[in-house]
Structure 1
Amino acid sequence: MNLKPLALFVKHDGMSSRATITCQYKCGNACAHDVPNTSDGEYFGDIVRAAVSRRGVLRGGAATVLAVGAGAVLPGNAAAAPGWLDFGSLGTGSASGSLSEPPVPGTVFAPVAPNEEDAVVVSDGYEQAVVIRWGDPIFDDAPAFEFDNQTAEAAVKQFGFNNDFAGLLPIPGQPNAYLLVVNHEYTTEPSMFRGYNAENPTEEQVRIGWANHGLSVVQVQGETGSGRLTPQFGQYNRRITALTEFVITGPAAGSALLKTSSDPTGTRVKGTLNNCAGGVTPWGTVLSGEENFNQYFANGAQVADPTTSARLERYGISGNASRRKWEWFDYRFDVAAEPNEVNRFGWVVEVDPWDPESTPVKHTALGRFKHEAATIHVTDDGTVVAYSGDDERFDYMYKFVSSRKMQPGHSRAAMRHNMTLLDAGTLYVAKLSGNEPDAIDGSGTLPPSGVFAGTGQWIPLLRTGEDGSGESLVDGMTADEVAVFTRLAGDKVGATKMDRPEDFEPNPRTGKVYVALTNNSKRGASGRPPADSANPRNNNKNGQVLEIDDQHAGTSFTWNLLLVCGDPATADTYFGGFDKSQVSPISCPDNLAFDPYGNLWISTDGNALKSNDGLFSVVLEGERRGETKQFLTVPVGAETCGPIIDDKRVVVCVQHPGETDDGSIDSPSSHWPDGGSAQPRPSVVAVWKSGGGQIGL
């Protein structure tokens, strides 16, 4: 089947491709609301100009940073029409053949052309299969999924909705067997229920929504000779929902700010909401971030206390009724009635997938904000560092450095110890400085050094002791306040306002840390921070990827931009210095992962280039640094999430397929993955090389 490449070399309208319904139910229409960060902290430009005046322009340093950084299967290598970029030639070297290094292992595949197909389109020579879909049973007593006959009782035994993060953990002693751990970010009720009335949902519909949030743990069996994964009714299978009990640990546990009428101890909370990306820890657990939790809570406008009201507004909680009307059936979602309940969401959660009876944890030492994820780096001496971004326009980047050391091994005793690592240590927020601030004009033009680069500091906010007690490191705030209202602490210390910092991923080979900065249409708008070295474009529709060379347990780092995403034919894009005629266009980076060879892989969300979202490989070292190639695309209206890249298999989560402005249950925009007249269903997909073999070789 021939795919028609899109018009990549024309001016686009500057907007993400997300449908209105996706924006409404995924993030509470965050981009249509006022920016919550109205703090008067220094703009980046003020910070860096002051720094440069003290030390001089470090153009040599910028150069150093560069040198160091220096359902049917469809064919992806479609013939390009005359006048279009020839995607079949990408990865073969520059147009002049000047590259001396061969293609980098892990990235040797035919790039997929941009397209708008209602299918997962994979690179030529690769095969795919759905692993599990929304509603598929994960217990042997669960009923088969029936779209028009859903019940809450059935949903708690079935795979949840809108899968985002995916982790694949080998089961010891069972060859080619794994635990697939997936979180379920949010529910889109108009896409789930025929005849749904958003102004008058039924209690059963609300309870089905509760059941479809949270996480799923599913045992899967691999297939010899392929990357196919088949779900099993295994002993580890589990559903975690909006009603599952969690224990609260860290400095805010027992705080008056977390106490409610149903939990006067402030140490137990019912459920987890809007789990976005995540990470597998070196000790075998899974971390997940509670992101756009604010949208589930009603009646923020009715809170009279000015301090409470200001805190709610900083977290995007305002207005009256919520979109889903959960407050009708559980008063804890009404902040006027239960003002502290919302403070019990917005945390990093940790799940032990090896014990279905274990109580998952919310770690308050890592701070409360719209966590995209938390990912772990372990230093040579066993110090654990957790990185996390706050996915909001003009919000901040954080890390937590544990005061405890990781115990090696996967014994139950070691795991019990290691699950306390995120409960004692220091929480920091990032402040960045650019090397050439006066060269940044908002257009995305490279500074004279030819690279966006600079230095940074991690500013301490909160120290948690071995006994769990907190010590505030921010003037005018208590330890409880820093933990629960971490955004306000970042405001006070003048942290750098970023363009939606989403997934953080440390490179397991080099230790460098990468951050997906998805986009920010308000950058440079009236009354908003202007472009700066790390966020170099006003009206930033396509996003960028930041590379950090961090001290990890220390407080200093250097940074540069690996990618400034978008149409490679436009002047405002940058691909690590690589020939832009030889890369795939990429827009709105979201989740990050690494392959066994140390290459970065990026999944996208909201492609602003009028193509379906996809998964891309990026070379990080050598003369091919910045070479970007699209490996697959997802169906109409879908987002690419949760990539896993190992030597024999790529796994992606396909979230919200068919969510378009002109689609509905009665007239679906997508029939993926089941085809025919079926309703679209969020699903997990595995991709492998035809006939076996290693990915990207």
Structure 2
Amino acid sequence: MSDLDRDDIPSNSSKAESLNELLGKQQARRGFLKAGAGASTMAFFGLSLNTAAASAQSAAAGSAAPVSAMSFKAVAASTDDKIVVPEGYRYAVINRWGDPLFTDSPKWKGDATDDAAAQARQMGDNHDGMHYFPINGSSTEGLMVTNHEYINPAYFFPANVRVAGENWNEDWVKKSQRAQGVSVKHIRHDGKDWKTVLDSNYNRSINALDAEMVLTGPAAGHALLKTNADPSGTVVFGTFGNCGNGYTLWDTYLTCEENVTDYFGTEKEGVQSSTLMQRYGVATKASNDSYRWETHDKRFDVAEEPNEWMRHGWIVEIDPFDPESKPRKLTALGHFKHENAAMTLAADKRVVVYMGDDQRSEYIYKFVSDDKFDPANKAANRTLLDKGTLYVARFTDGEQAGDLKGKGEWIALTLDTVGLNGKKLGELFTDQGELLVKTRLAADAVGATPMDRPEWIAVHPHTQEVYVTLTNNSDRGSDKERKGTNGLKHPGIDDANPRAKNPYGQIVRWNESGKDAAASEFDWDVFVLAGNPDVHKEPANLMAGTPNISAQNLFNSPDGLAFDKDGRLWIQTDGNFSDAGNFAGNGNNQMLVAIPETEAGKGEIRRFLVGPSGCEITGITWTPDYKAVFVNVQHPGEYGKHPRAPKVTPQEAPMAFSKWPMDDNEDKEGSGGRPRSATVVVWREDGGVVGA
């Protein structure tokens, strides 16, 4: 996620009771601020919640037992410009921005003078979500599918280029467009290293400029999705803003379009902003200075093509094993700033996909397919995400005094659903296609619960609990007013967001009723509050975080999230890496491993990896034997207003804050000139399962 995006500016003017307000009620009921780290407090705000119940439910369901304790030694926080992994582990850097996709790919130039034609045949930039698809079940050969979310102009362009300024031209726009989207790369372990199979027919760039794809589902062909270039409303070129990801039970990849509104704008005067544009944060002035695509591509000029922006902001399904196939934009799964997509099965084998809308005070959704998954008929499953029901979550307080859990319900976003004003959604939207294009407005109308920037969602493989990262909110507070795109007054504290001006973030989880992912109700609690007990020492200070997190494993702004096969929860961060003030002892962004339940009844979190200077750690996938884990290092060297920032601009000295990966992993070839996003593969020296 870029710190240049508009995703930090709220556009939700809903007056629905927020999760912070709910948590305020539960705090008061439990006497949290008075009791400090008492038993009832930790039962709601801690890693040990529901240990016995979850274990019993797991055993009753015949699922695997809780995982054993982790054997690796936690690594210390670090501010060094390198990767740090535990003792007994090794790593390698692969798939850097600009690395070749094909045998004839031009070599990447360290001064960033590569043109658009070169970028089309090279690895994209700012890696995010990804997934390893094994070839014939192999843990040594497969397809690595990787999202490329955005670019850093100061590093991406040569020193004499200024976005939409002097020397700006069409080729720079096209280069930027071809660096974003998705790459498919055939990789193979040769017994020593992971290498790209450059002559593979699987390799391709599915980018923002060249990739033709189709719209499917209820909104396909809708008048709102028709443009001058596509009067059918069914054919779209490009995917961009690709943040988190998912994958299906039938071996396809789900890429999630997040901050797509940053790319649209106009230099024309007098263009009016509709309510819908305001709600999604679409500009009627020049677009984000990082891109300015509208200067040379009229698709991104909202005056020229007012509907084009609505054709982006979907989940896109890609078949990595069929290079001739067209990606499919899945309108049934809703139109918003998608973070990731976590797929599971309902009790009756219908497909369920959990999703978060990554902006302040936005919502959590789930999609339930109409038809059932058939493991024996892969072709029949290809349309499961075209038909179904989209739901949005409403979190509520527990009904009885002393209840240690919150309650929640899933509200169907259909034309027959009655909104808060007593009217059916069918009175607000002409058809289901319009409702889905305007997903945020429909969720507002039914009183969904505003959340603190929902990031990744993950489903526990044994207990079926669902976890979501709420990364942070510096403006949280009932009396805080911030002028966003719709003048939103931020909601106050509530049960899932218990802190005003929350700089640290937290992880919330829920259990669906009856352990059925298609259920209409759920119970929820707070899994962990990130914080800093070394800075906030008062026993009752929520800023200290969950008390049973060791001070040696501090972190802030949880973002990426995934479970391995044994039920270990892997947490990645994208937050403040100043290592000072409230964040003293946190070090660079990192990846941690948590055990939600243990026989001792105590959860545990250990730091597993630390990234280089200025980066985000994001994206995670494993080989089928779980003996190798892949993670992405995004935007190394991005420092903004960091207190340790060099006294030069990135274009003047792009490697002043980070040289990674040039000086890391003893790999200097082709890396000079710019810090580069890349994938890191980690394995155990003894060949065992990572993290175990």
Q: What's the TM-score bracket when you normalise by the shorter of the two chains?
A: 0.7 to 0.9
The answer for the alignment partner of 2:221 in structure 1 is 254
Q: 1:303/1:252 Cα in 2 relative to 1: closer, same or farther (>3 Å)?
A: farther
The answer for the alignment partner of 2:611 in structure 1 is 634
Which of 619, 622, 634 is equivalent to 2:595?
619
Q: Specify the SS of the correspondent of 1:422.
A: coil
Q: 1:62/1:586 Cα in 2 relative to 1: closer, same or farther (>3 Å)?
A: closer
The answer for the alignment partner of 2:561 in structure 1 is 592
CA distance in 2 between partners of 1:604 and 1:436 (Å)? 34
The answer for the alignment partner of 1:539 in structure 2 is 501
Q: 1:574/1:334 Cα in 2 relative to 1: closer, same or farther (>3 Å)?
A: same
Aligned-pair CA distance for 1:481: 2.5
Matched, 1:348 2:315: yes
The answer for the alignment partner of 1:23 in structure 2 is 3
CA distance in 1 between partners of 2:73 and 2:461 (Å)? 26
Partner AA of 1:39 in structure 2: S
Q: Specify the SS of the correspondent of 2:338.
A: coil
The answer for the alignment partner of 1:38 in structure 2 is 13
Which of 109, 113, 127 is equivalent to 1:146?
109
Q: 1:175/1:620 Cα in 2 relative to 1: closer, same or farther (>3 Å)?
A: closer
Contact 2:23/2:494 (CA < 8 Å) preserved in 1?
no
Q: 1:537/1:354 Cα in 2 relative to 1: closer, same or farther (>3 Å)?
A: same
Partner AA of 2:297 in structure 1: D
Q: 1:40/1:688 Cα in 2 relative to 1: closer, same or farther (>3 Å)?
A: same
Partner AA of 1:182 in structure 2: T
Aligned-pair CA distance for 1:574: 7.5
Q: 1:575/1:419 Cα in 2 relative to 1: closer, same or farther (>3 Å)?
A: farther
Aligned-pair CA distance for 1:480: 2.5
Q: Specify the SS of the correspondent of 2:683.
A: strand
Matched, 1:68 2:68: no
CA distance in 1 between partners of 2:27 and 2:92 (Å)? 54
Q: 1:656/1:63 Cα in 2 relative to 1: closer, same or farther (>3 Å)?
A: closer
The answer for the alignment partner of 2:572 in structure 1 is 603
Matched, 1:660 2:639: yes
Which of 179, 184, 196 is equivalent to 1:231?
196
Matched, 1:369 2:336: yes
Aligned-pair CA distance for 1:654: 0.4
Contact 1:505/1:592 (CA < 8 Å) preserved in 2?
yes
- Which range moved further: 427-436 or 485-494? 427-436
- Which range moved further: 294-303 or 213-222? 294-303
Q: Deviations over 1:310-366 (max 9, x none)?
A: 111111112411222211111110112211000001101110001011000000011
CA distance in 2 between partners of 1:437 and 1:606 (Å)? 37
Partner AA of 1:687 in structure 2: V
Contact 1:600/1:617 (CA < 8 Å) preserved in 2?
yes
Q: Deviations over 1:254-289 (max 9, x none)?
A: 100000000000001110110000012111001111
Contact 2:79/2:613 (CA < 8 Å) preserved in 1?
yes
Matched, 1:572 2:551: no
Q: Specify the SS of the correspondent of 1:462.
A: coil
Superposed counterparts of 1:189-208, under 5 Å: 189-195=153-159, 196-200=161-165, 201-208=168-175
Matched, 1:513 2:478: no
Contact 1:258/1:340 (CA < 8 Å) preserved in 2?
yes
CA distance in 2 between partners of 1:354 and 1:277 (Å)? 20
CA distance in 1 between partners of 2:502 and 2:449 (Å)? 16
The answer for the alignment partner of 1:522 in structure 2 is 475
Aligned-pair CA distance for 1:402: 0.4
Q: Deviations over 1:211-267 (max 9, x none)?
A: 10110111111254x7x5222122211110112111000111010000000000000
Aligned residues: 609
Q: Which runs of 5+ in 1 are unaligned?
A: 1-17, 54-58, 71-102, 439-447, 465-471
Partner AA of 1:606 in structure 2: G
Aligned-pair CA distance for 1:382: 1.6
Matched, 1:279 2:246: yes
Q: 1:249/1:300 Cα in 2 relative to 1: closer, same or farther (>3 Å)?
A: farther
Aligned-pair CA distance for 1:431: 0.4
CA distance in 2 between partners of 1:286 and 1:158 (Å)? 20
Contact 1:387/1:504 (CA < 8 Å) preserved in 2?
yes
Cα RMSD for the two superposed structures: 2.9
Contact 1:437/1:532 (CA < 8 Å) preserved in 2?
no
Contact 2:457/2:562 (CA < 8 Å) preserved in 1?
no
Contact 2:27/2:495 (CA < 8 Å) preserved in 1?
no
- Which range moved further: 455-464 or 284-293? 455-464
- Which range moved further: 421-430 or 320-329? 320-329
The answer for the alignment partner of 2:152 in structure 1 is 188
CA distance in 1 between partners of 2:689 and 2:21 (Å)? 49
The answer for the alignment partner of 2:72 in structure 1 is 109
Which of 558, 574, 580 is equivalent to 2:523?
558
- Which range moved further: 472-481 or 371-380? 472-481
CA distance in 1 between partners of 2:348 and 2:502 (Å)? 40
Which of 666, 669, 673 is equivalent to 2:661?
673
% identical equivalent positions: 41
Contact 1:300/1:335 (CA < 8 Å) preserved in 2?
no
CA distance in 2 between partners of 1:546 and 1:218 (Å)? 34
CA distance in 1 between partners of 2:225 and 2:44 (Å)? 47
Aligned-pair CA distance for 1:462: 2.9
Contact 1:648/1:692 (CA < 8 Å) preserved in 2?
yes
Matched, 1:651 2:630: yes
Matched, 1:426 2:389: yes
The answer for the alignment partner of 2:136 in structure 1 is 172
Aligned-pair CA distance for 1:502: 0.8
Q: 1:328/1:271 Cα in 2 relative to 1: closer, same or farther (>3 Å)?
A: same
Q: Which runs of 5+ in 2 are unaligned?
A: 29-38, 53-65, 417-423, 482-488, 578-582, 641-645
Partner AA of 1:320 in structure 2: K
Q: 1:486/1:144 Cα in 2 relative to 1: closer, same or farther (>3 Å)?
A: same
Aligned-pair CA distance for 1:548: 1.1
Contact 1:135/1:161 (CA < 8 Å) preserved in 2?
yes
Aligned-pair CA distance for 1:114: 1.3
- Which range moved further: 244-253 or 149-158? 149-158
Q: Deviations over 1:511-534 (max 9, x none)?
A: 111101111112112432100001
Aligned-pair CA distance for 1:567: 1.6
Q: Deviations over 1:421-480 (max 9, x none)?
A: 111111000000123899xxxxxxxxx77x6x301000110379xxxxxxx856522322
Q: 1:154/1:391 Cα in 2 relative to 1: closer, same or farther (>3 Å)?
A: same
Q: Deviations over 1:99-154 (max 9, x none)?
A: xxxx9547221111111110111112211101210011111121121233302112
CA distance in 2 between partners of 1:173 and 1:580 (Å)? 37
Contact 1:593/1:645 (CA < 8 Å) preserved in 2?
no
Contact 1:406/1:418 (CA < 8 Å) preserved in 2?
yes
Aligned-pair CA distance for 1:379: 2.6
CA distance in 2 between partners of 1:156 and 1:430 (Å)? 40
Partner AA of 1:311 in structure 2: L
Partner AA of 1:388 in structure 2: M
Q: 1:118/1:624 Cα in 2 relative to 1: closer, same or farther (>3 Å)?
A: farther
Contact 1:437/1:533 (CA < 8 Å) preserved in 2?
no
CA distance in 2 between partners of 1:689 and 1:519 (Å)? 33
- Which range moved further: 366-375 or 524-533? 524-533
CA distance in 1 between partners of 2:268 and 2:467 (Å)? 38
Partner AA of 1:177 in structure 2: E
CA distance in 2 between partners of 1:316 and 1:508 (Å)? 36
